[in-house]
Amino acid sequence: MMETVTITMKNLPALYLEADNVSPDVFAGKTAEQIAGLDVFEGNTTQTLGKYFEVAGKAGATAAETKIIVKGNTGKVKYLGFKMSAGEMLIEENADLYVGAWMKGGKITAKKNVAAFAGLAMKGGELTIEGNAGNYLGAAYRGDWRGMSGGKIHVKGNAGSDIGMYMTGGEIVVDGNIDVHPMTHAEGGRLVVKGNAKSKIGGQSLQGDIIIFGDIEVMMPGFKPVDTVELDIDGTKAKFSHFIGDMGERHKKKKGQIVYANLYKKL
């Protein structure tokens, strides 16, 4: 049976708060009191969640039966929904780094903005951001070569730079505009941008699809025009010019055909 836990910020941390225990997986089976006793880190000190948040309600028996509502000023709170595998989370205000990072399943809705590294190395589930997303959305961790591999991210506002870096699967949809370097070194997955894009789109990418509805400020020289195609993107039918690339990279062969990344720019 679905149960709801509401955590409300009551005492703002002086430093940034690392709240990697705020997820349905950790909350599952716990009472409000037990949840308030979970560890969080402020700077180099270990504190309890209850020092900063008021905890109401209770968690379900499993992650899938647990919904978490995060209220109040969480602009300095990191790792909300970290590694979650099931259940739901609603974040009402802005959140800091790593929202839904390494998530495997379940659903997160952020009503406002989220900072960088949201959906980092995500494997599954749904992450919806109704405001803007920061840099490295759905990307790989620093130094790593394993970015987002599954699930769906939907940003209703704009997104920053380096989104989908080292992406290998799943989908990112941005209703607004994006900054530079999307899908760098991608080896799969799909990025849809309804607004405008800047430059270095799909640099070093091996595989994957990039669909841009708006303008591209500077095209990558490593992408080659091949044809014009008609695509149906989530119910919107339109004509796109089709490019393949990045021609400067190695590419796999599948059934005798070389596999490239595809870039579709709406005509």
Partner 1 sequence: MAEYLIKNGHVFDPVQGIKGDKADVAIKDGKIVDKVGSSAKVIDAKDKTVMAGAVEIHAHIAGPKVNLGRIYRPEDKLFTCTPTHGMERMGGGASIPTTFKTGYEYAKMGYTTAMEAAMPPLFSRHVHEEIRDTPIIDEGAFPVFGNNWFVLEYLKNHEIENTAAYIAWLLKVTKGYAVKVVNPGGTEAWAWGMNCLTVNDPVPYFDITPAEIVKGLIEANEYLGLPHSMHIHPNDLGNPGCYKTTLDTLALAEGLKTHNKFGREQVMHLTHTQFHSYKGTNWGDFESGAKEVTDYVNKHKNITIDTGNVTLDETTTMTADGPFEHHLTGLNHLKWANVDVELETAAGVVPYIYSPNISVCAIQWAIGLEIPLMMKDPMRCYITTDHPNAGPFTRYPRVFKWLMSTKAREAQIDAFKHKDKVLSQTSIGSLDREITFYELAQMTRAGPAKSLGLSALCGGLKPGMEADVAVYNINPDKPVADPDDIEKAFSRCAAVFKNGVQVVSNGEIVSNGHKRTLWVDVKTKENAQVKHDISEKFIKYYSMTQNNYEALGHHFVPNPFALEVDATQA
263 within 8 A of 212, measured Cβ to Cβ: yes
Residue with Cβ nearer partner 1 (55 or 120): 120
Name the token pair of 183: 């899908």
Residue with Cβ nearer partner 1 (156 or 251): 251
Q: Give the C-alpha separation, 247 to 249, whole Å.
A: 6
55 within 8 A of 5, measured Cβ to Cβ: yes
Least distance from partner 1 to the Cβ atom of residue 25, Å: 15
Least distance from partner 1 to the Cβ atom of residue 250, Å: 7
Least distance from partner 1 to the Cβ atom of residue 126, Å: 24
Residue with Cβ nearer partner 1 (16 or 141): 141
Least distance from partner 1 to the Cβ atom of residue 141, Å: 5
Q: Give the C-alpha separation, 241 to 228, whole Å.
A: 4
**What are the angstrom distances between the C-alpha of 71 and each of 131, 200, 226?**
16, 38, 49
Least distance from partner 1 to the Cβ atom of residue 244, Å: 20
Least distance from partner 1 to the Cβ atom of residue 206, Å: 9
Residue with Cβ nearer partner 1 (52 or 166): 166
φ, ψ of residue 135 to 5 degrees: the values are -75, 165
Least distance from partner 1 to the Cβ atom of residue 98, Å: 12
Where does this chain bind partner 1 (CB under 8 A)? 141-145, 250
Residue with Cβ nearer partner 1 (7 or 120): 120
Residue with Cβ nearer partner 1 (142 or 255): 142
Residue with Cβ nearer partner 1 (39 or 215): 39
Look-up: residue for tokens 């990418």?
205
